[in-house]
Structure 1
Amino acid sequence: MSGLRRRTAPALSMAAALALVTAGCSGGDDSSGLPADQQGSGATAAEGDGVRLGILGQCEGPFGGFHEDVVAGTTLALTRFAGATPNSSTSALDGFSDAEAAGTPIELVGVGCGDDTADRVLQEVRLLVEQMGANVIIGPLSGDEGMAVAEYAKANPDITVFAGISGSQEQTLQVRAPNYFRFYGDGAIWNAGLGDLLYNEQGWRRVAVIADDYSFGHTSAAGFIADFCAVGGDVTHRVFPPLGTTDYSSYIAQLPNPDEVDGYFWAVGGTGTQSALEAFINSKGDVTGDQHAGNFFFNPDLAQALGSDIAGAHIGGFATLPGDVRTPEIEEYLAAADATWESIPGSLSGNEPAPPSTAAAFGFFYGYYTAGVALVEALEAVDGDISDVEAFQSAISGLTLDLPYGDISLDENRSGVVDVGLSRLAVDDSGEIVQETVAVVPGVDQSFGGTFSPETPSPGRDFPACDERDLPWEGQAVPVVDGVPQS
């Protein structure tokens, strides 16, 4: 901790300080995530000129493997559009230099290391803002973290937060902090149209749902349940194992047998996806693609452990589209990642050195990239003048970002209105399991066709109810053939 300049040290408890000591997995000399000679001066958020940026990553917990990816996402945006130079050709965690937009410098003061808990991320954001002087935050990564940071932002209106990729619904629909902005969808949005597809094209009528028992798992399951029930489906079971469970056998036992339902929807993520499916195989028999669907954690890597019978399983969307959809804009974006670093150790490569475009093509990296783009465009909209924080935040609210995977605007609660890509696992000509896009659902917002509002309960074990309703995208998904949308 010696590299930190603690102007407001009393603001953190001893417990918080001890937790921060353990957060040094980001590779710097202390928990800032940067070498000591690259850390900020410790000014408070109200002091100094320019943007003093803190990034909230996650170096521990179920999603700790994506720590490098998310910092790289923001770094790529600032490299492309704000003249930043990465300090390392093989790791984004060493930070960047010389970023500037509309004449305003952007200095990286530190990288926070979360562990998927609200308590830890609050320690990290307080360190960045109250000790290291950050006035802009990009992050966090995960659901409960997003709710905590949104509440912190609401209590600290002088800072500006661009959410990273945290997918819980509550952070924007319930908290509604005027200085908290999410340029991507939430977990429910990402499953829009999946229930419609499974009901009307695959003939599913009765489904069991298993999802992580925390805010993102609840939100992801809520989107599928609302969509499937809207068109007439029935959800017979809802099972919620705690996030980070290692032995799923007791939870699998709560699910019906394969002859009792048409299918299962899985929203078990992080390190639990494979373990939960293996427990299913041990208890109920082989997993076959025609009876299983999942959120974005249901990916081709599962085939290595489960075998090719997983082919045919359908998958909800995420912030990016599967690799079979390639446009000039996507190709340029991925090429820019490979031109920025020689390699980076992303989670999708087992945290071994890999082409940066491997990480850039996945939603964790991309969510932080969109936040970086939004920061640059907001600075340009106010000619680099951030002295009037309300004017700066008003400019952010009015942005529509022209991004590689589609335009994103914000709703009245400053959350993204996005297109959702649905996909399935398939066997390619070489016998490998790949993910191919089957449809795009355009323009989905977090109200989910009137299902959710600030007055409805938060997604949870019992909400939403399984009710039929009209959803604006029912039957309106755009088919995708060989990676090309058919409209």
Structure 2
Amino acid sequence: MSRLKRRTALALSMTAGLALVAAGCGGGDDESAGLPADQETVAGDGTGSPPAGGDGVRLGILGQCEGPFGGFHEDVVGGATLAMTQFAGATPGSSTTALDGFTGAEVAGTPIELVGIGCGDDTADRILQEVRRLVEQLGANVIIGPLSGDEGIAIAEYAKANPELTVLAGISGSQEQTLQVQAPNYFRFYGDGAIWNAGLGDLLHNQEGWDTVAVIADDYSFGHTSAAGFIADFCAVGGEVTSRVFPPLGTTDYSSYIAQLPNPDEVDGYFWAVGGTGTQASLEAFVNAKGDLTGDQHAGNLFFNPGLAQALGPDIAGAYVGGFATLPGDVQTPEIENYLAAADETWETIPGALSGNEPAPPSVAAAFGFFYGYYTAGVALVEALDAVGGDMSDLDAFHEAISGLTLDLPYGDISLDENRSGVVDVGLSRLVLDESGEVVQETVAIVPGVDQTFGGTFSPDTPSPGRDFPACEERDLPWEGNAIPVVDGVPQS
């Protein structure tokens, strides 16, 4: 339990920051990378391959400044930068934005030079264009990122085809990038979308009495993976999924998809894995078509948060929420307090997504999983470099060092499985009304040590999560009935 107690919960207030944001970057020139002028061009060797590993780290960060998750561009660059500042002696390029990068990072005598920041838009084509620019034009030999599901699959395939490259995934939550692609130079120090919903179906069926549920999820790899975890969990304990609806990512009018869902008197509950700009829009469409929300009839993945109450009203209270890279709720620990304080010491303000992309204390961004996923990748890079004495000339040894890491992080330890994907604890929470009538997020349980096989549900030989997979089947899961309750912010073990 020492690991579980190194956790906190932070009320997530995702508001206007989930809106489409395309500021601060472009797709095809060095200036768009958001770097100061003296960092804009670092030439590779002209061969179309990353330079040899023995010449130091030339780091590229793959963000997403356009598309449904474009509002998190500042956050993800900030996460990697904070790790370099804390543990590699870097100096941020600005006190008011992370997009100006950093200078002066060094580990065991080996410099870490930021050569560029890529601008994705949630599509595989765009992120491949950006990684090629960073690697083949600017000479990056290490990549941190990307952010989103289909992007992660594309970058894992690119890494597999370019074995001289090292990729530390940012926060992309699709399952396939590690379980199916299995690139030996691609590492993910966080969970995937299925992992983050472990235990939620068990809680809703056995504690809240849900027997039937309708699922609505974005029709792309992360939405599929997130829904797959919930479906596998809910059905394993005897629940029934009556319908599955998959609107395309980036949908603006959800009315036709809401019409496909059963009415509230025909099902015990609804599970939502609609993210980005779609979370609020889809719920508003539900209210227009089905009537007012009853919070305890709804559950969602990481995009359910107290900020929804600002648009939908307090009726969202009662909804259950799956986990993410950080634990929501009310647990406070010295480790997390120090981490958040380090962010506030690194910058004066950051215009992150949770503050509506307006200047705010950097700890606001650092508390959410998009920032934190890139932070863990940066910490892994530093620790692996230290483990090999700063010598990357033997990439096999360097990659073996990364694979063997167990990171002691603010929100708990993370190790990697045999496919170099994170084994993590999952925090489940609920939206509740506090004493002042505000909607806040409260931790209700912790599911420890979940890996991407999901108790044997998924493997390299099973289909990728999709519209029809997994089937709704009862099975034994190791955490059924074994989640650790959290009461008033304290794990009960």
TM-score (norm: length of structure 1): 0.94
How far off its partner does 1:74 sit? 0.4
1:470 corresponds to which letter in structure 2? D
Residue of structure 2 in register with 1:210 after alignment: 216
CA 1:80 to 1:23, structure 2 compared with 1: closer, same or farther past 3 Å? closer
Matched residues in 1 for 2:297 and 2:60: separation? 43
Residue of structure 2 in register with 1:67 after alignment: 73
Residue of structure 2 in register with 1:99 after alignment: 105
Matched residues in 1 for 2:398 and 2:241: separation? 45
Matched residues in 1 for 2:109 and 2:432: separation? 49
How far off its partner does 1:306 sit? 1.0
1:351 corresponds to which letter in structure 2? N
Q: Are 1:343 and 2:343 counterparts?
A: no
Superimposed CA distance per residue, residues 146-203 of structure 1 (whole angstroms, 9 cap, x where no aligned partner): 0000000000000000000000000000000000000000000000000000001100
Matched residues in 2 for 1:22 and 1:325: separation? 34
CA 1:151 to 1:27, structure 2 compared with 1: closer, same or farther past 3 Å? closer
Alignment partner of 1:438 out of 436, 441, 444 = 444
Superimposed CA distance per residue, residues 418-457 of structure 1 (whole angstroms, 9 cap, x where no aligned partner): 0000000001111110001000000000000000000000
1:67 corresponds to which letter in structure 2? H
Residue of structure 2 in register with 1:252 after alignment: 258
8 Å contact from structure 2 (residues 384, 401) kept in 1: yes
Residue of structure 2 in register with 1:399 after alignment: 405
1:60 corresponds to which letter in structure 2? E
Matched residues in 2 for 1:160 and 1:28: separation? 23
Matched residues in 2 for 1:481 and 1:24: separation? 44
3-state DSSP of counterpart to 1:116: coil
How far off its partner does 1:411 sit? 0.3
Residue of structure 2 in register with 1:43 after alignment: 44
3-state DSSP of counterpart to 2:400: helix
1:36 corresponds to which letter in structure 2? A
The aligned runs of 1:369-448 (5 Å cut-off) are 369-448=375-454
CA RMSD after TM alignment: 1.5
Residue of structure 1 in register with 2:145 after alignment: 139
3-state DSSP of counterpart to 1:92: coil
How far off its partner does 1:29 sit? 6.2
Kindly, what percent of the aligned residue pairs are identical? 84
Residue of structure 1 in register with 2:162 after alignment: 156
What is the number of equivalent residue pairs in this alignment?
467
1:364 corresponds to which letter in structure 2? F
Matched residues in 2 for 1:223 and 1:75: separation? 31
Matched residues in 2 for 1:58 and 1:283: separation? 33
Q: Are 1:24 and 2:3 counterparts?
A: no
The aligned runs of 1:167-206 (5 Å cut-off) are 167-206=173-212
3-state DSSP of counterpart to 1:93: coil
Matched residues in 1 for 2:422 and 2:108: separation? 25
How far off its partner does 1:305 sit? 1.1
8 Å contact from structure 1 (residues 425, 435) kept in 2: yes
How far off its partner does 1:34 sit? 1.3
How far off its partner does 1:481 sit? 1.0
3-state DSSP of counterpart to 2:33: coil
How far off its partner does 1:112 sit? 0.1
Matched residues in 1 for 2:354 and 2:24: separation? 22
Q: Are 1:78 and 2:79 counterparts?
A: no
3-state DSSP of counterpart to 1:94: coil
Residue of structure 2 in register with 1:278 after alignment: 284
Superimposed CA distance per residue, residues 391-426 of structure 1 (whole angstroms, 9 cap, x where no aligned partner): 100110000000000000000000000000000000
3-state DSSP of counterpart to 1:366: helix
CA 1:86 to 1:22, structure 2 compared with 1: closer, same or farther past 3 Å? closer
8 Å contact from structure 1 (residues 29, 35) kept in 2: no
How far off its partner does 1:210 sit? 0.1
CA 1:174 to 1:29, structure 2 compared with 1: closer, same or farther past 3 Å? closer
8 Å contact from structure 1 (residues 323, 361) kept in 2: no
TM-score (norm: length of structure 2): 0.93
3-state DSSP of counterpart to 1:357: helix
CA 1:28 to 1:400, structure 2 compared with 1: closer, same or farther past 3 Å? same
2:410 corresponds to which letter in structure 1? P
How far off its partner does 1:381 sit? 0.7
Which of 196-205 and 31-40 deviates more? 31-40
3-state DSSP of counterpart to 2:427: strand
Superimposed CA distance per residue, residues 316-373 of structure 1 (whole angstroms, 9 cap, x where no aligned partner): 0000011512111000000000010000000000100000000000000000000000
Greater RCO structure (CA 8 Å; 6+ sep): 2
Gaps of 5+ in 1: 1-20
2:80 corresponds to which letter in structure 1? T
Q: Are 1:55 and 2:61 counterparts?
A: yes
1:472 corresponds to which letter in structure 2? P
Matched residues in 2 for 1:71 and 1:469: separation? 41
Superimposed CA distance per residue, residues 192-230 of structure 1 (whole angstroms, 9 cap, x where no aligned partner): 000000001100000000000000000000000000000
Which of 304-313 and 262-271 deviates more? 304-313
Matched residues in 1 for 2:255 and 2:37: separation? 46
8 Å contact from structure 2 (residues 424, 448) kept in 1: yes
Runs of 4 or more, structure 1, over 4 Å off, are: 25-29
Matched residues in 2 for 1:28 and 1:432: separation? 45
3-state DSSP of counterpart to 1:259: helix
3-state DSSP of counterpart to 1:190: helix
How far off its partner does 1:22 sit? 11
